[in-house]
């Protein structure tokens, strides 16, 4: 059943952007307005995501600032923060609002600037990212975010025999996909050998197992089912699941299964009336290569324990049987934290409309987005379909 429909999508190139948050967000929002054919006066509310602006650039209370910049001052505007799942959560709340009949047309999006070129250096950003781990029971160990996912991935490797080569294949695949995406932060291919020769960040992750710090913004115009047919190319949201897991890692029952993703995807598939077998393609949260392996299993696209081999065998490639991260994913497209969830929705929209250019997939009827936050303790899974 349709819960809401995306009728306009926009995003900036991800990479380095030396301009203020409102101007960066404005580019994505105006593109989404123009794509939808809406005017600011049509927009009834603003659901916005930014994770770390207060910490990184002393910039808070951003929702009304950005609303003012894009011509929608006056509407109710709210900001969400759930680490890397920030704008997926904004999107979920927007879906619920239009589904409930509170609004018919809303703007949803996110923005973040994370690059050393426009903000803080790597050590400072590493500290800020680590603020999403438990303040009392994890941060004092010196744990970093690559370290968080390294802990989960190491246990997955121990349980299932996942290897560093498997992980490297995820990076190689997503970089190859990124060459097809003009908005990707990295548009250059790499090799398994190059990945395995990179410097270690937090073992088993080497530099190329990790997504970059990016600047960028993404936005969509979301409308109610009732009014969707009056727009040119609506793409329906038929399921959106949202679950959380226990923090800290030590108190999770089985950390590497990423239970929140299993719970969120089960909710999303049930709402959409589909199973994982019906999914044609997915955008998953590959902040680190091991995260993609665990996500591909948790949302049911690959059998448990086979996420690594599936990437190595090409099953999750652009031309494989279940393409994952055709956009390049966080790994190659980039990861401006608060924009990432919305950018996944932009990619699903473009693929389902058949507007994805050089990365267009042959079969893109049912798309899934998986956006996680923190140590996988927040996960949202969204199912989108073309309107028939």
Partner 1 sequence: MSSDLPERLTYGEWTRALKEGRLLGQACGACANVLGTPKGACPHCGTRDLETVELPTSGEVYTETTVMVPPEGVEERGYQVAVVQVGEARVMGRVDGNGGEVHVDIGDSVELTGYIKGEGDDPAPLFRPAD
For position 201 contacting partner 1 by CB under 8 A, the verdict is: yes
Residue 101 or 142: the one with the smaller Cβ distance to partner 1 is 142
Shortest Å distance, C-beta 203 to partner 1: 5
Is 335 labeled as catalytic in the residue annotation?
yes
- Please work out, in degrees rounded to the nearest 5, the angle formed at the alpha carbon of residue 282 by the alpha carbons of 107 and 102: 25
Query: Which of 156, 160, 285, 335 is the catalytic position?
Result: 335
Query: Within 250-269, which residues bind partner 1 (CB under 8 A)?
Result: 250-251, 253, 255-256
Is 84 labeled as catalytic in the residue annotation?
yes
Residue 126 or 271: the one with the smaller Cβ distance to partner 1 is 126
For position 216 contacting partner 1 by CB under 8 A, the verdict is: no
- Other Cβ atoms less than 10 A from the Cβ of 146: the count is 25
- Please work out, in degrees rounded to the nearest 5, the angle formed at the alpha carbon of residue 368 by the alpha carbons of 362 and 369: 120
Tokens of 380: 């949202």
Shortest Å distance, C-beta 154 to partner 1: 5
- Other Cβ atoms less than 10 A from the Cβ of 298: the count is 27
Q: Which of 182, 221, 181, 215 is nearest to 23 (CA)?
A: 215
Count of residues touching partner 1 (by CB under 8 A): 38
Task: Quickly list DSSP for 16-32.
Answer: ---S-HHHHHHHHHHHH
In the numeric block, the tokens 């680190």 are attached to: 288
Strands 235-244 and 378-386, by their bridges, are antiparallel
Residue 1 or 200: the one with the smaller Cβ distance to partner 1 is 200
Rounded to 5 degrees, φ, ψ at 248 are -85, 180
Query: Within 143-182, which residues bind partner 1 (CB under 8 A)?
Result: 143-144, 146-147, 150-152, 154-155, 158
For position 122 contacting partner 1 by CB under 8 A, the verdict is: yes
Measured distance CA(153)–CA(293) in Å, rounded: 9
Among 18, 39, 203, 363, indicate the residue that binds partner 1 (CB under 8 A): 203
Query: Which of 84, 114, 211, 287 is the catalytic position?
Result: 84
Give the helix/strand (H/E) hosting 5.
strand 4-11
For position 58 contacting partner 1 by CB under 8 A, the verdict is: no
Residues forming the site for partner 1 (CB under 8 A): 122-124, 126-127, 130, 134, 136-144, 146-147, 150-152, 154-155, 158, 199-204, 246, 248-251, 253, 255-256
Active-site positions read 84, 335
């Amino acid at each position: 059943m349709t819960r809401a429909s995306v009728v306009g999508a926009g995003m900036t190139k991800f990479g380095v952007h030396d301009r203020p948050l409102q101007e960066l967000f404005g580019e994505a929002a105006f593109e989404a307005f123009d794509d939808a054919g809406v005017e600011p006066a049509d927009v009834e509310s603003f659901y916005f995501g930014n994770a770390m602006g207060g910490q990184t650039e002393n910039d808070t209370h951003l929702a009304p600032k950005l609303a003012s910049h894009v011509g929608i001052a006056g509407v109710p505007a709210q900001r969400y923060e759930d680490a890397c799942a920030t704008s997926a959560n904004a999107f979920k709340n927007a879906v619920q609002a239009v589904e409930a009949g509170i609004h018919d047309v809303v703007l949803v999006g996110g923005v973040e600037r994370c690059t050393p070129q426009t903000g803080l250096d790597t050590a400072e950003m590493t500290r800020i990212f680590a603020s999403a781990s438990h303040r009392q029971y994890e941060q004092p160990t010196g744990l970093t975010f690559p370290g968080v996912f390294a802990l989960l991935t190491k246990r997955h490797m121990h349980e299932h025999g996942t290897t560093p080569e498997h992980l490297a294949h995820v990076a190689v695949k997503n970089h190859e996909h990124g060459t097809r995406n003009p908005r990707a932060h990295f548009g250059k291919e790499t090799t398994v050998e190059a990945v395995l020769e990179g410097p270690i960040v937090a073992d088993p992750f080497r530099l190329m197992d990790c997504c970059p710090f990016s600047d960028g913004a993404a936005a969509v115009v979301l409308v109610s089912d009732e009014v969707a047919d009056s727009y040119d190319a609506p793409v329906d949201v038929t399921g959106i699941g949202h679950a959380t897991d226990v923090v800290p890692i030590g108190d999770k029952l089985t950390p590497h299964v990423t239970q929140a993703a299993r719970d969120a995807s089960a909710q999303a598939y049930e709402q959409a009336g589909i199973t994982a077998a019906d999914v044609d393609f997915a955008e998953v949260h590959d902040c680190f290569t091991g995260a993609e392996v665990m996500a591909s299993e948790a949302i049911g696209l690959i059998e448990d324990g086979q996420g690594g081999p599936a990437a190595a065998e090409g099953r999750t490639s652009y031309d494989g049987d279940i393409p994952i991260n055709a956009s390049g994913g966080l790994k190659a497209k980039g990861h401006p934290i608060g924009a990432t969830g919305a950018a996944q929705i932009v990619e699903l929209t473009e693929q389902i409309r058949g507007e994805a250019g050089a990365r267009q997939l042959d079969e893109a009827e049912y798309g899934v987005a998986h956006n996680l936050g923190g140590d996988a303790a927040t996960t949202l899974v969204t199912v989108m379909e073309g309107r028939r």
